[in-house]
Homo-oligomer: A and B are copies of this chain.
């Protein structure tokens, strides 16, 4: 286990606090206390509170963008693509559940350039998702319900995984993937 840089330790601690109270409610003094140092000392490692937030969010957003592009450019069928998207979300969630809280709830506190960059990535991600569902519907691979409702319900479940999965210590990640695919694609009734 290679030792993390002090900067990364600070970012990890911040992600936990941001998850608990949100970016705006966490002060640099809160973060310093969590690290066992004084607030001013944080600035030996980071440039600003904003830098912490953008590091967390932009990194994750780029992970999703890269993952989605691979899936879009593959030659698998619709169902397999949807399964791979579910996989992607579960993988990222297992690796950085805390950061996903910021991605989901605090992206609007990003400043100018990063905010635009983030919104562009999110838009493209949703468009890619929507197009996969649309093509699957045309090819008859999935049922003819309203596209927006299918996209929304699937995406909102995957986006909220970070809140729920870390609590469920009993469930193995492979079992989660299997049952998640079943529930999202085949329904419960």
A residues neighboring B (CB under 8 Å): 20-25, 79, 82, 105-106, 108-109, 133, 141-143, 145-146, 148-150, 152-154, 156-157, 159-160, 163-164, 168, 171, 175-176, 179-180, 182-189
Contact = CB atoms under 8 A, between A and B. Distances in A.
Identical chains bound together, number: 2
A142 B145 CA distance: 20
Question: What's the dominant secondary structure at chain A's contact region?
Answer: helix
A15 to B, nearest CB: 16
Of the listed residues A141, A154, A157, A186, the one surrounded by the most CB atoms of chain B closer than 10 A to its CB is A157
Given A24-B24, A142-B189, A153-B157, 13 more contacts: A21-B108, A22-B22, A22-B105, A82-B189, A133-B188, A141-B189, A143-B189, A145-B179, A149-B171, A156-B160, A156-B164, A157-B157, A185-B189
A146 B179 contact: yes
B108 A20 contact: yes
A174 to B, nearest CB: 12
Contacts of A159: 156, 160
Contacts of A142: 188-189
Contacts of A154: 188
B156 A188 contact: no
B150 A183 contact: yes
29 contacts: A20-B108, A21-B108, A21-B109, A22-B22, A22-B24, A22-B105, A22-B106, A22-B108, A23-B25, A24-B24, A24-B25, A25-B109, A79-B189, A82-B189, A105-B105, A133-B188, A142-B189, A143-B182, A145-B179, A149-B179, A149-B180, A150-B183, A152-B164, A153-B183, A154-B188, A156-B157, A159-B160, A184-B188, A186-B187
